[in-house]
Chains A and B, each alone.
Chain A
Amino acid sequence: MNGYNGKMLRVDLKAKTIKTEALNEDLAKKYIGGRGLGTKIMMDEVDPQVDALSPENKLLIVTGPMTGNPVATGGRYMVVTKSPLSGTIASSNSGGKWGAELKFAGYDVIIFEDKSDEPVYLSIEDDKVELLSAEDLWGTTVSVTTKKLQEKHVKGSKVLTIGPAGENLSKIAAILNDEDRAAGRSGVGAVMGSKNLKAIVVKGSGKPKVFDDEKLKETNKAQLSKIKENGVTGQGLPTYGTAVLVNILNELGTLPTNNFQLSQFGKAEDISGEALAEKYLIKNTACYRCPIACGRYVKMEAGEGGGPEYETLWAFGADCGINDLRSVIEANYWCNEMGLDTISTGSTIAAAIELKQKGYIKEDELDGLKLEFGNSTDIMEWTKRMGYRQGLGNKMAEGSYRLTEGYGVPELSMTVKKLEIPAYDPRGIQGQGLQYATTNRGGCHVRGYLISPEILGLPEQLDRFATEGKETWVKIFQDLTAVIDSMGVCLFTSFALGAADYADMCNAIIGSDHTADSILEAGDRIWNLEKMFNLKAGIDSSQDTLPHRLLDDPIAEGPSKGWVTKLDEMLPKYYKVRGWSPEGIPTEEKLKSLGL
Chain B
Amino acid sequence: MISIEIRYFATLRRNGLKKEVLSFKDGISVSKVLSEILIEEKDVAILLVNGIKVSFDKELKDGDIVALFPPVGGG
Q: Which residues of chain A are near B10, meaning CB under 8 Å?
A: 236, 239-240, 244, 247, 273-274
Query: In the complex where A231-B45, A560-B51 touch, is A248 in contact with B13 (Cβ < 8 A)?
Result: no
**CB pair A445 B75 closer than 8 Å:** yes
Contacts of A278 in B (CB 8 A): 16
CB < 8 Å neighbour of B45 from A449, A457, A491: A457
Nearest opposing residue in chain B for A558, CB measure? B51
Cβ of A133 < 8 Å from any Cβ of B? no
- B43's nearest neighbour on chain A, judged by CB, is A231
Q: Is B38 an interface residue (CB 8 A)?
A: no
A-facing residues in B58-73 (Cβ within 8 Å) = 67, 69-73
A466 to chain B, nearest CB (A): 12
Query: Known interface pairs A251-B67, A269-B18, A273-B10. Does A241 touch B53 (Cβ–Cβ under 8 Å)?
Result: no
Chain A residues whose CB sits within 8 angstroms of the CB of B69 once the complex forms: 247-248
| A464 to B50 alpha-carbon distance, docked (Å) | 15
CB distance from A294 to the nearest CB of B (A): 7
CA distance A247 to B46 in the complex (A): 12
User: Once the chains bind, are B71 and A245 in contact (CB under 8 Å)?
Assistant: no
Evaluate contact between A461 and B72: CB separation under 8 angstroms. no
Q: How far is the CA of A559 from the CA of B16 in the complex (A)?
A: 26
Q: In the assembly, what is the distance between CA of A464 and CA of B70, in Å?
A: 19
A31 at the interface (CB under 8 A from B): no
Nearest opposing residue in chain B for A269, CB measure = B18
Q: Which residues of B contact A455 (CB under 8 A)?
A: 46
Q: A247-B9, A274-B9 are in contact. Are A235 and B48 (CB under 8 A)?
A: no
A11 to B42 Cα, complex, angstroms = 55
A280 at the interface (CB under 8 A from B): no
Given A252-B51, A558-B51: A237 touches B74 (CB 8 Å cut-off): yes
Contact in complex: B74, A310 (CB < 8 Å): yes
Cα-based distance from A558 to B46 in the complex (angstroms): 18
User: CA A452 – CA B45 in complex, angstroms?
Assistant: 12
What residues of chain B lie closer than 8 Å to A449, measured between beta carbons?
Answer: 75
Chain A residues within an 8 Å CB radius of B67: 251
- Once the chains bind, are A253 and B45 in contact (CB under 8 Å)? no
In the bound assembly, the distance between CA atoms of A560 and B74 in angstroms comes to 21
B11 within 8 A of A: yes
Q: Which of B16-52 contact A (CB under 8 A)?
A: 16, 18, 45-46, 48, 50-52
Contact B72 A248 (CB under 8 A): yes
Of all chain B residues, which has the CB nearest A311? B75
Contacts of B9 in A (CB 8 A): 244, 247-248, 274
A412: B residues at CB distance < 8 A: none
Contact A236 B52 (CB under 8 A): no
Q: Are B71 and A235 in contact (CB under 8 A)?
A: yes
* A211 at interface by CB-CB < 8 Å: no
Residues of A contacting B75 in the complex (Cβ-Cβ under 8 angstroms)? 242, 310-311, 445-446, 449, 451, 491-492
A residues near B50, Cβ cutoff 8 Å: 559
Tell whether, in the assembled complex, residue A232 and residue B51 are in contact, meaning their CB atoms are under 8 Å apart. no
**Which residues of chain B come closer than 8 Å to A479, judged between CB atoms?**
none
Contact indicator A495/B73 (Cβ below 8 Å): yes
Tell me the interface secondary structure of chain A in the complex: helix
Residues of A within 8 A of B11 (CB): 235, 239
Collect the chain B residues with CB atoms within 8 Å of residue A240's CB: 10, 72
Nearest-CB residue, chain B, relative to A309: B74
| A291-316 vs B, Cβ < 8 Å mask (1 yes, 0 no) | 00010000000000000011100000
The 0/1 profile, CB within 8 Å of B marked 1, for residues 46-62 of chain A is 00000000000000000
A458 at the interface (CB under 8 A from B): yes
With A239-B11, A251-B67 as known contacts, state yes or no: A456 contacts B51, CB within 8 Å.
no
Q: Do B46 and A248 touch across chains, with their CB atoms under 8 A apart?
A: yes
Chain A: CB-nearest residue to B48: A251
CA distance in complex: A233, B72 (Å): 8
Within 8 Å of chain B (Cβ to Cβ): is A243?
yes
Residues in B whose Cβ lies below 8 Å from that of A251:
7, 48, 51, 67
Q: Which residues of B contact A451 (CB under 8 A)?
A: 75
Of B7, B46, B48, B74, the contact of A241 (CB 8 Å cutoff) = B74
Q: Contacts of A446 on B, CB cut-off 8 Å?
A: 75
A456 to B71, CA, bound (A): 8
Residues in chain A near residue B18, CB distance under 8 A: 269
Select A237's contact among B13, B51, B52, B73, beta carbons within 8 Å: B73
Q: How far is the CA of A456 from the CA of B52 in the complex (A)?
A: 13
**B-chain residues with CB within 8 Å of residue A237 when the two chains form the complex:** 72-74
With A236-B10, A449-B75, A461-B53 in contact, is A252–B70 under 8 Å at CB? no
Give the CA-CA distance A230 to B45 in the complex, in Å: 11
B70:A245 contact, CB within 8 angstroms: no
Closest residue of chain A to B42, judged by CB?
A231
Q: Report chain A residues within 8 Å CB of B16.
A: 278
A242 and B46 contacting across the interface, CB-CB below 8 Å: no
**Measured CA separation A262–B10 after assembly (Å):** 24
Contact between chains at B74 and A452 (CB < 8 Å): no
In the complex, which of the residues B7, B48, B69, B71 has the most CB atoms of chain A within 10 Å of its own CB atom?
Answer: B71
Task: Give bound CA distance, A464 to B75, whole Å.
Answer: 17
- The residue that B52 contacts in the complex, of A248, A311, A559, with Cβ under 8 A, is A559
Question: Whole-angstrom distance between the alpha carbons of A492 and B75 in the complex?
Answer: 8
Cβ of B13 and Cβ of A274 under 8 Å apart?
Answer: yes
CA distance A456 to B48 in the complex (A): 12
Contacts of B48 in A (CB 8 A): 251-252, 559
A84-99 interface (Cβ within 8 A of B): none
Closest to B67 in A: A251
- Check B74–A231 contact: CB distance below 8 A: no
Listed in ascending order, the chain A residues whose CB lies under 8 Å from chain B are 230-233, 235-237, 239-245, 247-248, 251-253, 269, 273-274, 278, 294, 309-311, 445-446, 449, 451-452, 455-458, 461, 464, 491-492, 495, 558-560
**11 A-B Cβ contacts within 8 A?**
A230-B71, A236-B45, A236-B73, A242-B73, A242-B75, A248-B9, A248-B46, A252-B48, A274-B10, A310-B75, A559-B48
Apart from A231-B71, A245-B74, list 8 A-B contacts with CB within 8 A.
A236-B45, A244-B72, A244-B74, A273-B10, A294-B74, A309-B74, A461-B53, A495-B73
* A-B pairs, 6 with minimum CB distance: A559-B51, A231-B71, A242-B74, A232-B73, A236-B72, A244-B72
